[in-house]
């Protein structure tokens, strides 16, 4: 009850802050909201909409359930989750925020996940997209694909470790997944009668529009909120706290912004005055933390699942620590080669991908996710001596 009251108080304060800022400084509010709208329209809409449509169709057609039978042994052994979780992991790691949360909610609605399993799965399947980490941060902001790959490696491996660690820490509270049924039965269920293709496609498009519009609302709202906090000096106060840890002022300012909004924080840090190793470590923490804006998006997608924000928050803190350690180790091993060609580029001059680029990457991500699923299914199938046996 106390935690819910605290969350309600935070929401009230955010609403009041937005209202006061829009009334007292309408021009700045308009500019920041327009910037958020452009970000959503140019990058998020083309990147996420195809993912949402295709993933919804795969669940409703029965492909996910069929793959779940194959992936059951592997997913249970690694993450203590049902086989269908492999679909969320593959798509969540090849797309971007908040695809993992959307898919977790859908599997929960289909009774393929328990509440505890949904809470565990959503904690490590929401990631920054490969295009953002490698293309925008690595190439666009640092002019170094190698740095982008290092950040991506640390980001994805740390989240996998979060899933492995939390799955074992909570092994007594996450229910044991039931054993898979016959693969032949799953195949006949897959090819069995379904709703008309037109109806399935229409429902998938409708859900995708609702989800991607909701994401846009959060992006615009937090764009205005971040602008308000900067105007009122609260970002500077947060930066001062980071300075107490020995971090340079300019990098601390970027961390303060990244605490709320990941993209703006990464941009600010990349052009700040400071050592490259410091900026990279700060950005890897921001990517893992993902910003309160993204966290709000994720929690809104699963608001009806009774998933605790405190658990998701612990996962983000754990990932930030793991990602920091992995990036630090990577820099120690290859720092000279990685940093000698790195050059900070102003966000206004950075080669920001076009909407078509994001659309292409979206389809590439779908293909990559399905390919990864196929590999996992093959590995899991090979581990079974008789995949067509019936479990009584």
Check pLDDT > 60 for residue 342.
Answer: no
- Confidence tier at 127 by pLDDT (50, 70, 90): very high
Q: How many CB atoms lie within 10 A of CB 221?
A: 18
List pLDDT tens digits, range 262-281: 988 888 888 887 788 889 99
- The pLDDT value given to residue 274: 75
- The pLDDT value given to residue 258: 92
Check pLDDT > 80 for residue 231.
Answer: yes
Total number of residues shown for the chain: 392
Q: In whole angstroms, what is the distance from residue 230 CA to residue 173 CA?
A: 42
Q: In whole angstroms, what is the distance from residue 129 CA to residue 230 CA?
A: 27
pTM: 0.83
- The pLDDT value given to residue 286: 96
Q: Which residue did the predictor score with more confidence, 127 or 179?
A: 127
Q: Which of 365, 338, 95, 254 has its CA nearest to residue 103?
A: 95
- The pLDDT value given to residue 316: 96
Q: Which whole number is the average pLDDT over 4-21?
A: 75
- The pLDDT value given to residue 147: 86
Check pLDDT > 80 for residue 126.
Answer: yes
- The pLDDT value given to residue 108: 93
- The pLDDT value given to residue 357: 64
- Long-range (24+ apart) CB contacts under 8 A made by 34-40 are 35/223, 36/216, 36/219, 36/220, 36/221, 36/222, 36/223, 36/224, 37/216, 37/220, 39/219, 39/223, 39/263, 40/215, 40/216, 40/219, 40/220
List pLDDT tens digits, range 344-368: 555 544 455 565 666 666 667 677 7
- The pLDDT value given to residue 391: 42
| Stretch among 6-10, 84-88, 283-287 having the lowest mean pLDDT | 6-10
């Amino acid at each position: 009850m106390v935690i819910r009251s605290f969350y309600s108080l935070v929401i009230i304060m955010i609403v009041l802050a937005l209202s006061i800022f829009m009334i007292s400084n309408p021009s700045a509010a308009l500019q920041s909201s327009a910037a958020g709208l452009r970000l959503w329209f140019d990058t998020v809409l083309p990147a996420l909409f195809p993912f949402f449509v295709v993933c919804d169709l795969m669940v409703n057609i029965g492909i996910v359930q069929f793959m779940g039978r194959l992936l059951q042994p592997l997913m249970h052994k690694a993450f203590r989750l049902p086989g269908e979780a492999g679909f969320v992991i593959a798509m969540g790691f090849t797309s971007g925020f908040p695809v993992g949360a959307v898919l977790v909610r859908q599997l929960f609605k289909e009774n393929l996940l328990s509440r505890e399993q949904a809470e565990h799965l959503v904690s490590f399947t929401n990631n920054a997209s490969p295009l953002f980490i490698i293309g925008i941060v690595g190439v666009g902001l640092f002019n170094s694909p190698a740095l982008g790959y290092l950040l991506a490696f640390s980001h994805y491996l740390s989240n996998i470790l979060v899933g492995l660690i939390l799955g074992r820490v909570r092994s007594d509270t996450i229910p044991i997944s039931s054993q898979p049924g016959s693969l032949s039965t799953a195949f006949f269920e897959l090819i069995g009668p379904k709703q008309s293709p037109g109806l399935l496609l229409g429902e998938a498009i409708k859900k995708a529009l609702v989800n991607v519009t909701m994401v846009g609302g959060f992006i615009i709202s937090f764009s205005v909120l971040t602008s308000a906090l900067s105007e009122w000096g609260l970002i500077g106060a947060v930066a001062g706290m980071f300075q107490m840890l020995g971090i340079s002022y300019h990098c601390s300012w970027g961390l303060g912004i990244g605490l709320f909004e990941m993209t703006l924080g990464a941009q600010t840090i990349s052009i700040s005055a400071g050592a490259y190793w410091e900026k990279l470590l700060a950005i890897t923490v921001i990517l893992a933390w993902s910003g309160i804006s993204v966290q709000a998006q994720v929690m809104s997608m699963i608001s009806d699942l009774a998933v605790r924000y405190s658990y998701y928050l612990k996962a983000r803190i754990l990932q930030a620590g793991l990602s920091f350690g992995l990036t630090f180790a990577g820099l120690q091993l290859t720092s000279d080669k990685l940093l000698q060609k790195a050059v900070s580029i102003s966000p206004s001059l950075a080669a920001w991908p076009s909407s078509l680029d994001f659309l292409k990457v979206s389809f590439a991500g779908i293909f990559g996710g399905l390919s990864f699923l196929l590999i996992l299914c093959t590995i899991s199938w090979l581990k079974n001596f008789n995949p067509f046996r019936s479990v009584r």
